Amino acid sequence: MKIGLVRHGSTSWNKEKRAQGGSDIPLDDEGTEQAVRLSTRLKKESWDALYSSPLKRAVQTAEVAARELSIGIQLDDRLQEVGGGQIEGTTEAQRIEKWGENWRDLDLGREPLEDVLKRCRSFIEDLVEKHPGQHVLVISHGGIISQILQMLDSAHVKEETMKNTSVSEVVFRDNEWSCEPFNCTRHLDI
């Protein structure tokens, strides 16, 4: 089984370095172009199913890919970005101004990590059960993709920000998951 994990294309909030979380922000023009380049890459590969977060930026990215791959999109709430609570829509400078340098230590209504891990684990378990031996594409968000990758192959996954429309693939063989490539955006260099 292979799972391709793809972060959505860029948004205006990405460029402004605003925390998006569960806010439903659409792709900007660059994000749409990134999705087109991504779909050109993906159509050269074989994918059996396509799942997406229901948030607009992920769905818009998935729609471009789905057209090229001629497959339907299955929306799954468990793929929504980590809830940011009160920090959504703010920049780092605004957070520091409002809550101080140690804002990360405050309970600002952000989704607890244990809840994020629970929904990621549940999604992967369902995927494995429904699609044994298949190649499944998943379009989601940086925070969720990072958690899934850490869960499946922590030995080979670096802790870095996931790039817009980056592709990370995990393959199950010999009773373990292995990630290769990781956070790859070679399709944007064309």
Active site residues: 8, 81
Find where tokens 């989704």 sit: 111
CA–CA gap between residue 27 and residue 107 (Å, rounded): 29
Strands 2-7 vs 135-140: parallel, antiparallel or unpaired: parallel
CA–CA gap between residue 161 and residue 159 (Å, rounded): 7
The CA-CA-CA angle for residues 125, 161, 144, to 5°, reads: 25
Structure tokens at 61: 């990215």
CA–CA gap between residue 49 and residue 70 (Å, rounded): 10
